[in-house]
Amino acid sequence: MKIAIIGAGSGYMPGVIRGLLHRAGDLAGTELSCYDIDTGHLVVMTRLARNMFAARDAAFTVSAHTDLKSALDGASYVFTTFRPGGLAARHLDESIPLKHGVVGQETAGPGGFLMALRSVPVLLEIASATGPDAWIVNYTNPTNIVTDAVARATGARVIGLCDQAVGDTEMWADLLGLPFEGLEADWTGLNHATWAQRLRLDGHDLDVPLLLDDLKVPGGGATPWRDPSRMAELAKTLGFLPNSYAKYYFFHDEVVEELRKKGTTRAQDILAMLPAYYEQVTAESGKADPDPSRERGGGEHGEFAVDVICALHRDEGRRMIVNTRNNGAIPSLDPDAIVEVPSLVGRSGPVPLTMGPLPGPVRGLTQAIHAYERLASDAAVTGDRRTALQALMAHPFVRSKHTAEKILDEGLAAHRGHLPQFT
């Protein structure tokens, strides 16, 4: 079996390697075809992979490629995890909307829209060069829009990934005083717009409203990953669990002020730490038993992706939360919408489990986000400026046509080198 890893020079690659080691016995004999446009980072990460595998007698072969077609040739699974334009482009995605009073975030709202315009053309190129029986396992953001564009424009077999559900379940375990091990939440909705009305611990249903009645709203501020005070406040009002990204919708103006006061974007913060990170990973890559930093490449990200590939390849029928075609799982959304829901993942692909209607307090919001995502997907595929403007106007963050026009004009100009469809 051959797995192509597109974006193998990424800082997340150590986590992917750890994920592969986690399932090394199930994947023995697999060829890993590693591709990246950054030759230096590709050399480091493939050397790291070979030495980590050798230290643990893991039966993988590793090849490095700077030609996309050769990397994809014969692949059964294509794992996509890259950021067109790098973190410099992410900075623009975050800063351009913020200048106009709108949350600048890498996956949600106008920031995610600008990233989708760059990501989709690359994924379409990958899909066109991928065999008809191969699975594209996509981690490239914004995963909902990218997965929708690939599915509708090419008909390729694609499954969208995000490990936010894992992190959010862990956050809610902490807030509710529950053990994370054995806790299962039915997150349902759209990527970064999911909601959980049902919780189980060791297979037994929990009384979510009662748990929330007893929940004390903690003090303290937000981190780049969590905002427990706002999440607790929101959950007690809604009566169910919100995804962490809900804060951008329900506390939008407060978040805008906080982002402005902070003075740097998240992209700039990451750029500041990356040189030391890559220096450490480079040094470790030459050792007989490397232990690279987990600051960008922790195991959860990689383990989830590898577990999905194993579930597909081994026909495990494993219950996983993935982004896939709705097919009636959420009757509140179009049957062909790409939704994030618990699914049984096996050789024929993910089978979404019936979740029922979206909860009333967030049904309209989630439907509005879906309408935006469908327009954004169309704009990213066609390069039609009118559709792009309609997409931005449809997003709940954007409350003015003129604001949408300014963000679109500046975004298209700033990213023109990565937008071949807008000519």
CB distance 383 to 82 below 8 Å: no
Say whether 278 is catalytic: no
What does the alpha-carbon distance between residue 413 and residue 361 come to, in Å, rounded to a whole number? 38
Q: How many Å apart are CA 189 and CA 369, to the nearest integer?
A: 10
Q: Catalytic pick from 35, 139, 245, 278?
A: 245
How far apart are alpha carbons 136 and 123 in whole angstroms? 9
C-alpha dist (Å) from residue 8 to 11, 139, 243, 355? 8, 12, 29, 35
Distance CA 93, CA 407 (A): 10
Q: How far is CA 263 from CA 100, 132, 149, 245, in A?
A: 15, 47, 34, 21
CA distances from 69 to 35, 37, 160, 202, 298 (A): 10, 13, 22, 45, 29
> At CB < 8 A and 24+ separation, what contacts does 287-296 make?
287/51, 288/51, 288/54, 288/55, 289/51, 289/52, 289/55, 290/48, 290/51, 290/52, 290/55, 292/14, 292/48, 293/14, 294/14, 294/15, 296/11, 296/12, 296/14, 296/15, 296/270
Q: Is 280 exposed, middle or buried (0-12, 13-18, 19+ CB in 10 A)?
A: middle
Contact by Cβ (8 Å): 248, 105: yes
The DSSP call for residue 251 is S
Q: Which residue matches tokens 């053309």?
A: 121
Q: How close are the terminal C-alpha atoms of the chain, in Å?
A: 39
Is residue 279 within 8 Å of residue 11, measured between CB atoms? no
Q: What are phi and psi of 350, to 5 degrees?
A: -75, 135
User: Which residues are known to be catalytic?
Assistant: 245
